[in-house]
């Protein structure tokens, strides 16, 4: 299972780094909105947020991670964003074993959303 978790983490990093909509972002060369900047869609706010992938986190047996889904208009989405109850400051989990429960086989990482959100990717 360790190798599946590593493969999932690598795929997730690749997805965040090459999001189709991120590549079509504003004509900037660096910073927020730059081409290649990962973008996460927040469904409850109907807003897009740039993000930074800061690294893996260990699973500590608590529920203080927010689910990140591999779907939505940018390929990556979540329910809550900044200022919402349920937003955990960019501490995410991806359900790598598709059992809809946080456990040791899933992927956990830090990837904060950078405000302000915007209406278009």
Tell me the pLDDT tens digit for each residue of 74-89: 899 999 999 999 999 9
99 or 29, greater pLDDT: 99
CA dist list (Å): 106 to 35, 55, 57, 119: 29, 15, 11, 31
pLDDT for the residue 68: 94
Give me the chain's average pLDDT, please: 80
The range of the structural domain enclosing residue 25 comes to 2-118
Distance of alpha carbon 5 from alpha carbon 36, whole angstroms: 24
Which residue has 């999001």 as its token pair?
19
pLDDT in tens, 26-42: 443 444 555 567 899 99
pLDDT for the residue 29: 44
In this structure, the dihedral spanned by the alpha carbons of residues 91, 95, 16 and 75, taken in order and rounded to 10 degrees, is: -120
pTM of the complete model: 0.75
Number of domains making up the chain: 1
Within 13 Å, how many C-alpha atoms sit on residue 78's CB side?
28
In this structure, the dihedral spanned by the alpha carbons of residues 28, 53, 67 and 108, taken in order and rounded to 10 degrees, is: 170
Least confident range from 6-10, 17-21, 76-80: namely 17-21
**Helix extents (H) in 1-118:** 2-17, 20-23
Q: Contact, 39 vs 77, CB < 8 A? A: no
17, pLDDT greater than 70: no
Distance of alpha carbon 93 from alpha carbon 102, whole angstroms: 8
pLDDT for the residue 72: 87
pLDDT for the residue 12: 59
Structure tokens at 85: 């109850």
Local confidence band at 13 (pLDDT 50, 70, 90 cut-offs): low
């Amino acid at each position: 299972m360790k190798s599946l978790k590593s493969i999932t983490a690598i795929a997730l990093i690749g997805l965040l780094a090459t999001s189709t909509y991120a590549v079509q972002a504003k004509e900037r060369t660096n910073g927020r909105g730059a081409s290649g900047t990962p973008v996460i869609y927040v469904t409850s706010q109907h807003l897009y947020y740039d993000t930074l992938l800061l690294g893996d986190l260990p699973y500590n047996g608590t529920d203080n991670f927010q689910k990140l889904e591999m779907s939505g208009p940018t390929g990556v989405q979540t329910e809550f964003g900044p200022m919402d109850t349920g937003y955990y400051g960019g501490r995410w989990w991806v359900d790598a074993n598709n059992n809809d429960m946080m456990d040791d086989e899933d992927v956990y990482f830090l990837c904060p959303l950078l405000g302000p959100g915007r209406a278009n990717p």
